[in-house]
Amino acid sequence: MTKEDKHETTRRNFVQKIIAGAGVSTVAAATYGLSSKATTPDASERRAKQYAMLIDTRKCIGCHTCSVACKAEFDVPLGVTRSWVEYTEKGTYPNVSRNFLPRLCNHCRHPQCVDVCPTGATYKREQDGIVVVDSGQCIGCKYCIQACPYDARFLNPVTGVADKCDFCIHRVSKGLVPSCVNSCIGGARIFGDISDPTSEISRLVETNPVTVLRPGKGTEPQVYYIGADHSDEHENKRGWYDVRVTTHRKEKGRR
């Protein structure tokens, strides 16, 4: 065998090994369901959900159906509420007005209740941004209740642990909307993934002037309002007009 023949044989063997290796990889891929091409997750897989609620107060008639539906859904004890409606009355007779402000947990992007919980019972779900309470870990210390800027939490008198709205996780996980949204006779509530630009809630927030409660707290609430009147009773001191807020809760004052 000449040097040239030996060189050609060596090169041929090298090429055959490459082909054989590629064949093995292809067979393995076919056998185990693997792809021979590098894959990257699409945008929907990379994007984390952030569930939010939009309340159009122009459609709210103050009927409290949302509050009643919430109580029925979770058997909420008397004297405490997960969801409630405030009445804001202002003006000077005869020029007076009444507006309704539905309230619930704001499921903030930066929840202060999570920061103060000593046991980790209160946490924000990574998959959808819902803030929940693990009743098995809660010790009823009330730290989260005091930390919440929206007065959305309470100590359940039956269970002895912190309680609040959880966007009806048991319904949402099955593709349903929260009970308050389902029962709203005026269609004032819209629920969905606000991180999805194609969702109804995203489109409405994008195309309407919206407000949130206490934006200065830096919590980034995920409950948005259209046409909400955030007037407070402290405005009485300004002397322009009278303001009265009725909360329909055991705690009559608004935090």
More confident residue, 223 or 32: 223
Query: Confidence class of residue 93 from pLDDT cuts 50, 70 and 90?
Result: confident
Find the range with the poorest average confidence among 38-42, 43-47, 240-244. 38-42
Strands 162-163 and 154-155: antiparallel
| Mean pLDDT computed over 66-95 | 93
Domain boundaries, the chain: 1-35, 49-246
pLDDT band with cut points at 50, 70 and 90 for residue 245? confident
Helix, coil or strand: residue 22: helix
Residues 20-40: what's their mean pLDDT? 40
Reported as a pLDDT band with limits 50, 70 and 90, residue 252 is low
Q: Give SS3 for 51.
A: strand
For domain 49-246, which architecture applies?
Answer: 2-Layer Sandwich (3.30)
For the cut 70, the answer to whether the pLDDT of residue 83 exceeds it is: yes
31-45, 157-171, 175-189: which has the minimum mean pLDDT? 31-45
Residue 198, pLDDT above cutoff 70 = yes
Q: Can you give the pTM of this predicted structure? A: 0.79
Percent share of the chain, pLDDT over 90 = 67
> Which of 32-36, 51-55, 214-218, 225-229 comes out lowest in average pLDDT?
32-36
Confidence label for 214 from pLDDT (cuts 50, 70 and 90): very high
SS3 236: helix
> Mean pLDDT, the chain, as a whole number?
84
The predicted structure's pLDDT at residue 255: 59
**pLDDT surpassing 70 at residue 35:** no
Q: Tell the residue number behind the tokens 């030996």, with chain if given.
A: 6
How many helices and strands (H and E) does the chain possess? 8, 11
Query: Residue 180 has which token pair?
Result: 């308050």
C-alpha torsion sign, points 122, 166, 204, 244: negative
